[in-house]
Amino acid sequence: AEPQLEAEFEAIVGHKDRIEPRDWMPEAYRKTLIRQVAQHAHSEIIGMQPEGNWIGRAPSLRRKAILLAKVQDEAGHGLYLYSAAETLGTSRNELTELLIAGKQKYSSIFNYPTLSYTDVGTIGWLVDGAAICNQVPLCRTSFGPYGRAMIRICKEESFHQRQGFELLMTMMRGTQEQRDMVQESVNRFWWPALMMFGPPDDASPNTEQSMAWGIKTHTNDELRQKFVDMSVPQAEALGVTFPDPELKWNAERGHYDFGTPDWDEFWDVVKGNGPCNAQRLAHRKRAWDEGAWVREAALAFAAKESKENHA
Ligand code: ACO
């Protein structure tokens, strides 16, 4: 029956229809999806840390409420994504254990520090902006639960991007010192934001197969270019520049040309040697260990309830 099932799978993917959890799928497809969705979920959860760093020090009650809501949204995104991964036959506990053991990845961007409150605005604008660029096409990814989770996540990410831009715009209308803070923050985050899209296409081992399966619908370089094209006019509106002397409109291509990210730095961060990797994982592990009693209590309560219901 396998060739028949495989032909059905190929037909669904070929028509850009959805594969659902109960459908037959090649083991390698399942494995790739678990890898990507788990990494994505871990990124949302680890991504709470850099911004969470400023909740207690936000400059006003209004800014604190916004930041708190935003960080809570990221937790929600992590949970939708772990649920999508669970439909592939894995569990959130299992995936979290793999993350903590350093056997699964999360986005490189969250291994950079947030040195000033301004970074909250820059992360919203550039990091969530890059996330949207990458994730809007994923709303049409071939695995149903992943694509449907993306729809809501993208709506919330758009709000996050706007709040970041608005925060920076407010600072740009302030004093020279505030404007300098915005530029300094943008200088630090620009290149790491470009690295979020992954290695260049000729160094991306997964892209070709993931595109053939409809998991990815664009290459890393295509999305990076789209992000640069989208960000330059926004930087002009804000009154900041990007730290790239090669950034220039190319009328022939109809796109901005831009310089090459430091790929040695990227791989170093991916391998665990970025400025904050150790700190981020240690914090995640501490939270996981300290939450063990809550998970145990919830399980014991559920077991008791089901026993009573069956009595
Ligand atoms: N950070 C950490 N690791 C990365 C990154 C990154 N920015 N980009 C690529 N990698 C890793 C890949 O995971 C892969 O390693 P693996 O095979 O051990 O998993 C390796 O580098 C080679 O990369 P690719 O072959 O290009 O991998 P892939 O096809 O999975 O493409 C991409 C990477 C574009 C990140 C893809 O997985 C994706 O679109 N993921 C969903 C989006 C996502 O995870 N966003 C999270 C950050 S944004 C946010 O949540 C706010």
Query: What are the DSSP calls for 37-60, one per residue?
Result: HHHHHHHHHHTHHHHHTTGGG-SS
CA dist list (Å): 178 to 24, 81, 114, 187, 189: 56, 37, 16, 14, 17
Query: How far, in Å, CA of 214 to CA of 8, rounded?
Result: 15
Q: Ligand 1 centroid to 70 CA: how many Å?
A: 23
Q: Ligand 1 centroid to 182 CA: how many Å?
A: 28
Q: Ligand 1 centroid to 43 CA: how many Å?
A: 10
Please report which helix (H) or strand (E) contains residue 248, including its range.
strand 248-250
What per-residue confidence (pLDDT) applies to 1? Answer: 72
Q: Is 220 in the pocket of ligand 1 (CB under 6 A)?
A: yes
Please list the ranges in the chain whose pLDDT falls under 50.
none
Residues 6 or more apart from 258 whose CB is under 8 A from it? 194, 228, 244, 246, 247
Q: Is 108 in the pocket of ligand 1 (CB under 6 A)?
A: yes
What per-residue confidence (pLDDT) applies to 100? Answer: 96
Q: Cβ(124)–Cβ(142) under 8 Å?
A: no
Helix or strand or coil: residue 204? Answer: coil
What per-residue confidence (pLDDT) applies to 309? Answer: 84
Q: Cβ(240)–Cβ(40) under 8 Å?
A: no
Residue having the nearest C-alpha atom to atom 11 of ligand 1: 198
Residue having the nearest C-alpha atom to atom 24 of ligand 1: 204
Residue having the nearest C-alpha atom to atom 45 of ligand 1: 40
Q: Percent of the chain having pLDDT more than 90?
A: 97
Residue having the nearest C-alpha atom to atom 37 of ligand 1: 36
Q: Which two tokens stand for residue 21?
A: 């959890």
Q: Is 39 in the pocket of ligand 1 (CB under 6 A)?
A: yes
Q: Is 105 in the pocket of ligand 1 (CB under 6 A)?
A: yes
What per-residue confidence (pLDDT) applies to 2? Answer: 85
| Tens digit of each residue's pLDDT (9 = 90 or more) over 41-58 | 999 999 999 999 999 999
Q: Is 74 in the pocket of ligand 1 (CB under 6 A)?
A: no
| Tens digit of each residue's pLDDT (9 = 90 or more) over 123-156 | 999 999 999 999 999 999 999 999 999 999 999 9
Q: Which two tokens stand for residue 66?
A: 């916004």
| Tens digit of each residue's pLDDT (9 = 90 or more) over 164-178 | 999 999 999 999 999
Helix or strand or coil: residue 249? Answer: strand
Q: Which two tokens stand for residue 37?
A: 């969705």
